[in-house]
Structure 1
């Protein structure tokens, strides 16, 4: 290890942040806020705010507003409700090697912490804290996946990154950051991701507990509570040897084109391509065969009864793309689940567990789609991985289009325009302008 993680995190400055890292953080800021806007309208977000208010009311740490809601809670409560809110729509940034998401925990937690700082933060201040959270989370996630037999949710390893960044925000020295990481790793939610794949509910990707676990760990460490070592940070050296010289955040962060599990995305891309290339209408579809990797076939969801089942499906999102030509805000409405034409197409989808795609889908997600038409044709697309992965990245224009698709109908065009402008340049903002960004991010639509 070139430098211990806690010393790296305690000493990092804005001048240490390379341009490509800052570009990723800006994109993630904008992208996450767009997802938060539409997600704030869901039942899951409303339930989470009520539950957090009941259990994490404002204490002596100061009041923090919930992302896109404005409810005043403790920092841990705001992190919890905000984490569940972002997680309610599965469209936030992702890290393929960790099979999870950093931004869905990082932004709700660190924006909540920003609310209770004794001195207003500048954009440069926040960029340092955000960089710490992303980098520590990414590396802890890699170490956990390599050393634990179960596939754990993002909350289990983002709790560590949030703890270290939050402890830094509280003015902790390197040793306090070290203890915070250990507390968060020990108490963070080691929730099993495939349970939510098999039985989709609102527990989702665990960030609703990962984010507040990190915040609480930071406050405990500041008060002298011990918990080190964090095993993923201190006993898996191969994942930390180039810390400070390379940025996993830059290498691993990617963005989602559609608001559902990334495992479904190559199939959605494929049907969109085949429908356009061959001028097909939904009435032309006699069947859809999807060959993909094993875990993706567990996303069946031919007739989802809830938005959670929609999010963790392939067949229904694929059918939605065939019928509607998009998966945007209207398609996230519960009424979509009763669309008879989408349901008809969904039940024509056949999922094929493909050994070859299972073998090569490590850090990738492979699928190949064949559409069978009512006139007897068999139209096969090439094998695909999702658009939005780092080898097929979304452009800045596509990120902006996605943000506006999600944000405009919920918060209005004027507020969305200002929010996008500020989040896309957040690290250059003065303290007063960053406070304005907080206000736009943390008040209700």
Structure 2
């Protein structure tokens, strides 16, 4: 008989975590904090902080600091503001089989709880992260397999966050089971394709999934009932190997570009065509992107906001063609008005390819053709995104991305210290882990232009 998820969560120890699980957690810690740093200057993050400070004052649970900012609110408020902060720059880790993201909910929620528990060591936090990721991923797979609608990551991360937070608060296996049920029931069943078709700051739903999970844990420990979580208990195929296999190792991907993952294979393909043929953007007459159905709904030929940029495909591809990169500079509002990018974006056709739709289950497929002004048509083979486990980003690439995002906000010395501590966070004693928590939660010490 497989071990029930709540008993797994209650009994998991640091010694149970394989080396490859710890490696993924270390990489995700660093990658997520880099995104959090640059995202802390976004308009969306500022709005979320304002709301959290207005509505979620510290109470009997204690005060948790808002990610990369430092002001204290309740743990639920800190989880909300932190998740919305990370979600405001679409560059955080994800899981292709679940078509979503866990780290953007898991890290702000668990850091918020850790901030009122000064006794936590790095090994304790590693166990909580492993629980939150693993339960989130499996609940997400179960939800996608059993629900007709495509819900945001907030729907299933609420379950994983609730499970891990109940463990963090000392809950029994029974209380953890109820926390998961409460988190699943109250988690936001928000419609992902609505935000694809009409991009706004709602993003991937983790801004409400994270505090829903945190709140569920407190309710469960106070005696509130909510079991069973159907995605955890009535979809056994996704839980049979819990504890012996790790979805977080198999499924976690990292993003080289700050936009929707569905655009990434086309961005890479366009970059290869440009470099391989020595093209300048002025040589390009038009672009054709063949991809799966949902990706064609990203569209976004003329995005008017960072949210529309994040959920577009034509414009990021055109940005790569013109600038040779899609990085921090491209998050600036001026990018949306770049005439060279707009010319190519408007000349880009998205083709809904039935074959790519059929095979884009655990992967995301695209192929690109560029027609030049002198009449040539240049194409690449169809591909999936870099950063998946079969085409992984190296540790050096993760580090470079972190510094690209964090250095202008935190300063190099502070970023170096954060990188070093993330790389061995699970080995830190309580005092050193407290220092890591301070770096994550107290914000920047260097000025930087706002990300609009």
For the aligned pair, the TM-score class normalised by the smaller chain equals over 0.9
Residue 404 of structure 1, CA deviation: 0.9
Q: How does 1:167-206 map to 2 (within 5 A)?
A: 167-206=166-205
Query: Aligned partners of 2:261, 2:400: CA distance in 1, in Å?
Result: 19
Deviations 1:252-271 (A, max 9, x none): 11111110000000000001
Residue 305 of structure 1, CA deviation: 0.3
Deviations 1:91-117 (A, max 9, x none): 110111111111000000000000011
Query: Aligned partners of 1:383, 1:79: CA distance in 2, in Å?
Result: 39
Query: Aligned partners of 2:373, 2:362: CA distance in 1, in Å?
Result: 36
Instruction: Report what 1:56 is aligned to.
Output: 56
Instruction: Report what 2:448 is aligned to.
Output: none
Instruction: Report what 1:20 is aligned to.
Output: 20
Instruction: Report what 1:413 is aligned to.
Output: 412
Q: How does 1:220-299 map to 2 (within 5 A)?
A: 220-299=219-298
**4+ runs deviating over 2 angstroms:** none
User: Are residues 1:345 and 2:344 paired?
Assistant: yes
Q: Secondary structure at the match of 1:291?
A: strand
Deviations 1:287-330 (A, max 9, x none): 01001111000010000000000000001101111111111111
Instruction: Report what 1:375 is aligned to.
Output: 374
Query: Aligned partners of 2:18, 2:355: CA distance in 1, in Å?
Result: 38
Structure 2 unaligned residues grouped into runs of 5+: 445-452
Instruction: Report what 1:428 is aligned to.
Output: 427
Query: Aligned partners of 1:420, 1:95: CA distance in 2, in Å?
Result: 23
The farther-off stretch of 287-296 and 119-128 is 119-128
Residue 444 of structure 1, CA deviation: 2.0
Query: Aligned partners of 2:169, 2:132: CA distance in 1, in Å?
Result: 14
Q: Secondary structure at the match of 1:393?
A: coil
Q: How does 1:284-363 map to 2 (within 5 A)?
A: 284-363=283-362
Query: Aligned partners of 1:349, 1:69: CA distance in 2, in Å?
Result: 40
Residue 443 of structure 1, CA deviation: 1.0
Deviations 1:209-247 (A, max 9, x none): 000000000000000000000000111111111111111
Q: Secondary structure at the match of 2:21?
A: helix
Residue 339 of structure 1, CA deviation: 1.0
Q: How does 1:90-239 map to 2 (within 5 A)?
A: 90-117=90-117, 119-239=118-238
Q: Secondary structure at the match of 2:97?
A: helix
Query: Aligned partners of 2:310, 2:295: CA distance in 1, in Å?
Result: 12
Number of residue pairs aligned between Structure 1 and Structure 2: 444
Residue 334 of structure 1, CA deviation: 1.0
Query: Aligned partners of 2:17, 2:405: CA distance in 1, in Å?
Result: 30
Instruction: Report what 1:3 is aligned to.
Output: 3
Residue 71 of structure 1, CA deviation: 1.6
Q: Secondary structure at the match of 1:259?
A: coil
Residue 415 of structure 1, CA deviation: 0.9
Q: Secondary structure at the match of 1:133?
A: helix
Residue 430 of structure 1, CA deviation: 1.2
Query: Aligned partners of 1:305, 1:271: CA distance in 2, in Å?
Result: 23
Query: Aligned partners of 2:53, 2:232: CA distance in 1, in Å?
Result: 33
User: Are residues 1:75 and 2:75 paired?
Assistant: yes
Q: How does 1:368-407 map to 2 (within 5 A)?
A: 368-407=367-406
TM-score by length of 2: 0.97
Q: Secondary structure at the match of 1:84?
A: helix
Query: Aligned partners of 1:125, 1:390: CA distance in 2, in Å?
Result: 26
Deviations 1:41-84 (A, max 9, x none): 10000001111111111111011001111121000000000000
Deviations 1:189-217 (A, max 9, x none): 00010000000000000000000000000
